[in-house]
Amino acid sequence: MPPKLFSKVEAAVKEHNYSSVSEFIRDAIRAWDEEQLYQSVLRSEREIALGKGKRLHSLKDLM
């Protein structure tokens, strides 16, 4: 990690009371993962609004 970026991470760890850099990184990854899921839901909603969605009547429709 570049030194400037690491300095920012260390500052965030102190500012937000993380116990370690690892805890901060894990939290950042979880936040990123949640954002990816949110964006996926938004894409699905847009597709449904455009009539491209598929209505599932049972779990078998997923296959």
User: Would you say residue 15 lies in a domain?
Assistant: yes
Which residues span the domain enclosing 25?
3-50
Q: Would you give the DSSP letter of residue 59?
A: G
User: Would you say residue 58 lies in a domain?
Assistant: no
| Res 54 pLDDT > 80 | no
- 0.85 cut: is pTM over it? no
Residue 56 is predicted with a pLDDT of 78
Q: How many domains does the chain have?
A: 1
User: Would you say residue 30 lies in a domain?
Assistant: yes
User: Would you say residue 63 lies in a domain?
Assistant: no
Residue 21 is predicted with a pLDDT of 97
Cβ neighbors of 13 (< 8 A, separation 6 or more) are: 20, 21, 23, 24
Residue 55 is predicted with a pLDDT of 75
Query: Is the distance from CB of 9 to CB of 1 less than 8 angstroms?
Result: yes
